[in-house]
């Protein structure tokens, strides 16, 4: 019999959805002879192209998720400066691009530091926020099939507690100059890091998108405590 704690910390792998994780646990529960449908939920999704800490509630633990979803979070984000995409990450199509000139490390650090505080930013059209009862990403994908682009996106206040440059590197992508800035963001609940990535680009004077994202903390829970799905 598969025995799971009420609160389970998972290190989500690349390209799996949050619901893929839940389905995998339910399948494993059934394979191990568990009775009935495993009751499991999560305290905040991660996009398929994001990795890192997911908090799952199992059984009675699902009752604790309402509070856990409100906890502050920490991310390591790789922001590609020089191109903007429909989804705010590499999954989408390029909608704006500009070759990147040399930007000094001091300028990058100052601009990243300027992002600490409460910002009012547009949310990605591919987010899970609902508008008129339908998740934005569903509206965006329906529009995409028609060759249209969603422009009436919600605007939200997002609080950034800390923003620290971990690395910056000039790269060439398809023959074009780009800059990748790796930033540690400590943020309040409800912050969309794709929005922060695009805002970083705007402040540097360029379009921008997320190249990679990893969630490292949720409240006092750390990625160092998480287990890989295959090790459960």
Write the CATH number for 51: 3.30.2350.10
108 and 206 inside one domain: yes
74 and 185 Cβ atoms separated by less than 8 Å: yes
97 and 182 inside one domain: yes
Strands 50-58 and 221-222: unpaired
Distance linking the first and last C-alpha atoms of the chain: 12
How distant is the alpha carbon of residue 117 from its chain centre?
Answer: 19
163 and 183 Cβ atoms separated by less than 8 Å: yes
54 and 162 inside one domain: no
**pLDDT digit string (tens) for 16-35?**
998 999 999 998 888 887 77
12 and 87 inside one domain: no
118 and 46 inside one domain: no
Angstrom distance (rounded) from CA 26 to CA 22: 6
Note whether residue 142 is domain-resident. no
How would you write the pLDDT of the chain (232 residues) with one tens digit per residue?
467 889 999 999 999 998 999 999 998 888 887 777 889 989 988 989 999 999 999 999 999 999 999 999 999 999 999 999 999 999 999 999 999 999 999 999 999 999 999 999 998 877 777 777 777 777 767 777 777 677 778 899 999 999 999 999 999 999 999 999 999 999 999 999 999 999 999 999 999 999 999 999 999 999 999 999 888 7
Spatial CB neighbours of 138, under 8 Å, sequence gap ≥ 6? none
**pLDDT digit string (tens) for 106-141?**
999 999 999 999 999 998 877 777 777 777 777 767
Domain limits for position 179: 73-124+155-218
Helix-helix angle 105-113:193-204, to 10 degrees: 130
87 and 201 inside one domain: yes
180 and 226 inside one domain: no
Give catalytic residues, as residue numbers: 47
Residue 142 phi, psi dihedral angles, 5° rounding: -65, -40
Amino acid 2: pLDDT? 64
185 and 79 Cβ atoms separated by less than 8 Å: no
174 and 118 inside one domain: yes
173 and 225 inside one domain: no
């Amino acid at each position: 019999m598969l025995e799971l704690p009420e609160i389970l910390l998972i290190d989500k792998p690349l390209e799996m959805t949050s619901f893929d994780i839940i389905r995998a646990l339910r399948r494993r529960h059934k394979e191990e002879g568990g009775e009935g449908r495993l009751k499991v939920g999560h305290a905040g999704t991660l996009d398929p192209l994001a990795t890192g800490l997911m908090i799952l509630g199992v059984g009675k633990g699902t009752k604790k998720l309402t509070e856990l979803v409100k906890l502050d979070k920490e991310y390591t984000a790789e922001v590609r400066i020089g191109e903007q995409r429909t989804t705010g990450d590499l999954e989408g199509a390029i909608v704006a691009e500009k070759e990147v000139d040399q930007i000094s490390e001091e300028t990058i650090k100052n601009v990243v530091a300027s992002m600490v505080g409460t910002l009012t930013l547009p949310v990605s059209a591919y987010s899970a926020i609902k508008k008129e009862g339908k998740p934005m990403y569903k509206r965006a994908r329906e529009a995409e099939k028609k060759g249209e682009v969603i422009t009436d996106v919600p605007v939200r206040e997002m609080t950034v507690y800390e923003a620290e440059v971990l690395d910056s590197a000039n790269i060439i992508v398809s023959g074009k100059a780009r800059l990748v800035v790796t930033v540690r963001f400590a943020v309040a609940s409800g912050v969309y890091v794709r929005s922060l990535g695009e805002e970083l680009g705007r402040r540097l004077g360029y379009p921008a998108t997320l190249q990679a994202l990893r969630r490292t903390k949720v409240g006092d829970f750390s990625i160092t405590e998480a287990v890989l799905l295959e090790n459960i």
